[in-house]
Amino acid sequence: MTGDVYVVVEHWNGTIAEVSFELLGLGRQLAQASGGKLHALVLGPEAKEVAAACGAADVTICVEHDALAGFSPEAHITQLAAILKDRSPAFTLVSNTSKGMDVAPALAVALKVPVVTNVAAVAVNDGAIVATSQLYGGKIAVEAELAGGRAVLSLLAGAFPADHGKSAGAGAIETVVPAAQLGGSRVAFKRLIEAEASDVDISKQEILVTVGRGIQDKDNLPVVQELADALGCPLCASRPLVDAGWLPKSRQVGKSGVTVKPKIYLAIGLSGAPEHVQGMKDATTIIAVNSDPKAPIFDVAHFGVVADLFDVVPALTEKVRELRG
C-alpha cells in the first residue's frame, strides 16, 4: 500500500469538469499529508489531449479506447479497477455527480475498500483523515474517520476550491494499455442528445429569483413571478419544482441543472440542499427567504430573512416597483 492519491477526472469534448479541478486540489493536500504522489486518471479516446490540463497532478495516467468514449459505467469501472488494484492507493477521489455515483460504490467493491459518499469536507487531524458527509439535503453532517488508510471518496461538487487544482505546469504523462475486458462490455455509449435551446440563458443573467418547495403549490408561483418581473429577471426553480413540471428544465438551478453566478441571487423558499447550493454558491450576493431559521441556505446566504415568503415577497415586489418608478 502506498500513500498515493488518485483522482478520476471527468471531461467532455476536451474540457475538464470544474469539479475535477476541485478533486485535484484536495488530492494534492491529501497526497502531501500521506507522503505520496497525486495521480490523475483520464479515460477516453481524447485522454492525451485532456491530460495537458492536469498540471496539478504529479502523474497523469491516460487510457485511450473507443469503449471509454462518452460514459459507460461498466467500461469505466472495469478500466479503473484494472489500474488501481495493483497500485493500492491510499485514496481514490471521485466526484459525486451522476457519473461518479455510478463509479464510486462499484469501484470500492472491486478494490475491497470502504466508500464515503456525499463528502463536503475532508480534514487531516494528527495524521488521521476525517471525511464529513452531508445527508438528508445537508441537514445532517456525519464524520467518518478513515482509520484503515484506504478508501474511495465521492465528493460533492462545489465543496472545494477549484483554483487549487489548476496549474500552468505539467506533470509526467503515463499511457496505460486498455484492459482486455473492455472489448466485451455489455453497454456501449452511442450519442449524447443535447437539450433544446431555451428561451433564456440563466447562466448569463445578473439577477435571478429562484423558488423552492416553500412555494407549496403551482398556483402560488405568480407571487414570485411578480417579483422577478419587477426586477426584470427570469424566474428559476429548484429540481423538485422542475421535476413536477412547474417550470422548464432550462430554469433549473443546481448540480443537475444550470450553474449560475449572478450579481444578485434571491432564494425564495429554498432549503439549501447541497445539490442546489453547488449551482449558485458563487453568486456575488445571495439573499434568502425561508421560514426555517435552521435551513442550510442561510449557511451560504449573505443576507437572510426568517419569515413567511408570502409576507415578504409581495412587500419586496412593491418596494422594487416603487424604487424603479
In a domain, 156, yes or no: yes
Angle between helix axes 98-111 and 73-87 (nearest 10 degrees) is 40
Question: φ, ψ for residue 95 (rounded to 5)?
Answer: -75, 145
Per-residue confidence band for 1, with pLDDT thresholds at 50, 70 and 90: low
In a domain, 24, yes or no: yes
- Distance in angstroms (rounded) separating the CA atoms of residues 57 and 32: 12
pLDDT at 163: 87
pLDDT digits (tens, 9 = 90+) for 38-85: 999 999 998 988 888 898 899 999 999 988 888 888 999 999 999 999
Asked whether residue 136 carries a pLDDT value surpassing 80, the answer given is no
pLDDT at 278: 81
In a domain, 194, yes or no: no
> Last residue of a domain, which of 150, 184, 218?
184
Written as nine digits, the cell of 265 is: 441571487
Q: How many CB atoms lie within 10 A of CB 180?
A: 9
269 and 122 inside one domain: no
208 and 180 inside one domain: no
Per the prediction, the chain carries an average pLDDT of 90
244-273 b/e with 16+ CB inside 10 Å = b?
A: eebbebbbbbbbbbbbbbbebbbbbbbbbb
Instruction: Please provide the DSSP assignment of 268-314 as one string.
Output: ES----HHHHTTTTT-SEEEEEES-TT-GGGGT-SEEEES-HHHHHH
The number of domains in the chain is: 2
Q: What's the predicted TM-score (pTM) here?
A: 0.73
In a domain, 192, yes or no: no
Question: φ, ψ for residue 110 (rounded to 5)?
Answer: -65, -35
In a domain, 134, yes or no: yes
Average of per-residue pLDDT across 18-27? 92
* Candidate ranges 33-37, 116-120, 175-179, 264-268; pick with highest mean pLDDT: 264-268
Q: How many CB atoms lie within 10 A of CB 145?
A: 11
- 164 within 8 A of 55, measured Cβ to Cβ: no
38 and 133 inside one domain: yes
**End-to-end C-alpha distance for the chain, whole angstroms:** 69
Q: What is the DSSP letter of 216?
A: -
Report the CATH number at residue 281: 3.40.50.1220
In a domain, 61, yes or no: yes
222 and 309 inside one domain: yes
Per-residue confidence band for 139, with pLDDT thresholds at 50, 70 and 90: confident
Closest CA to 271 of 245, 234, 309: 309
pLDDT digits (tens, 9 = 90+) for 53-65: 898 899 999 999 9
Q: Which parts of 126-238 are beta strand (E)?
A: 128-135, 140-145, 151-155, 172-175, 207-211, 235-237
In a domain, 189, yes or no: no
Question: φ, ψ for residue 231 (rounded to 5)?
Answer: -85, -10
Asked whether residue 182 carries a pLDDT value surpassing 70, the answer given is yes
123 and 175 inside one domain: yes
Q: Which domain holds residue 317?
A: 202-324
Helix (H) or strand (E) holding 111: helix 98-111
Amino acid residing at 132: T
Written as nine digits, the cell of 75 is: 467500461
Report the CATH number at residue 72: 3.40.50.620
125 and 208 inside one domain: no
Asked whether residue 165 carries a pLDDT value surpassing 60, the answer given is yes
In a domain, 191, yes or no: no
Written as nine digits, the cell of 247 is: 417550470
Per-residue confidence band for 198, with pLDDT thresholds at 50, 70 and 90: low
32 and 173 inside one domain: yes
- 76 within 8 A of 192, measured Cβ to Cβ: no
Asked whether residue 239 carries a pLDDT value surpassing 60, the answer given is yes
140 and 11 inside one domain: yes
